[in-house]
A and B are shown apart, each in its own frame.
Chain A
């Protein structure tokens, strides 16, 4: 087992354990804090895969913005009563069975992938020569310009929608 594989196995085991902690903790605040650790591990995995820009975006957007939003909402709500109740409902066995069947099917199908499409032009050497950010930026602002603009509209709608929804009286 090489060093790289060892690192991957550490990340895989840590992320699986963190994900299980996220869905099984009783207090939502604990879930959010474990999720924060999970996001940092995801960013580390992105660095493994030569996606430096996405690793930075993962930490800034997910860990910095979305999780802070979750923490604010949990602190706004008074959740004392929920924490004393049972965390798993009586149908949790059905959920476990569904997810295990799904997992078995996906692992069975996905581990059988043998035929892959031909390799693209963005080899590691090419990306290193140009820089990860420049490579993504060039494609994002030419080939994917329209989806990029639509994404900005989606964010604008989200801002307006969040303000309208959280207002006391709507209009």
Chain B
């Protein structure tokens, strides 16, 4: 039997890798993928809690997280394409039009 804490620690490690990717990379597509990575890490801990506490709520919550992730990817990539039409770059540092 795998202890619950193993799943939670795996989830924490994956979340922190996602945080690192979001902070260290400046390619907007890779930053989006890092966000998806963080969402997945949280999903793993939710499903693990759902299994070990014999509740079904965690799985329902993961269902909603997947929905929101799909919406977020669609909108975010649409914004990326709209931005790319004006400034052909995907570097987040170059998107400094509103910088004071």
A residues apposed to B, CB below 8 Å: 2, 4-5, 8, 12, 15-16, 19-20, 22-23, 28, 31-32, 35, 38-39, 42, 45-46, 48-51, 53-54, 57-58, 61-62, 65-66, 69-70, 73-74, 76-79, 81-82, 85, 87-89, 91-92, 94-96, 98-100, 102-103, 106-107, 110-111, 113, 116-117, 119-124, 127, 135-136, 139-140, 144, 147, 151, 154-155, 157-159, 161-163, 165-166
Within residues 48 to 92 of chain B, which ones have a CB less than 8 A from any CB in chain A? 48, 50-57, 59-60, 62-64, 66-75, 77-82, 84, 88-91
CB-CB under 8 A from A99, the residues of chain B are 16-17, 19-20, 23
Q: List 19 A-B contacts (CB under 8 A).
A: A22-B21, A23-B20, A23-B30, A35-B36, A35-B37, A39-B40, A54-B66, A62-B36, A62-B40, A77-B84, A82-B90, A94-B23, A99-B16, A102-B15, A111-B5, A119-B53, A151-B68, A165-B78, A165-B81
Verify B37–A38 contact, CB threshold 8 A. yes
CB-CB under 8 A from B17, the residues of chain A are 16, 19-20, 22-23, 99
Closest-CB distance, B61 to chain A (whole angstroms): 9
In the bound complex, CA of A9 to CA of B84 (Å): 42
In the bound complex, CA of A23 to CA of B27 (Å): 10
Is B97 interfacial (CB 8 A cutoff)?
A: no
Is B33 interfacial (CB 8 A cutoff)?
A: yes
- What number of B residues sit within 8 Å (CB to CB) of A? 72
Verify B82–A165 contact, CB threshold 8 A. yes
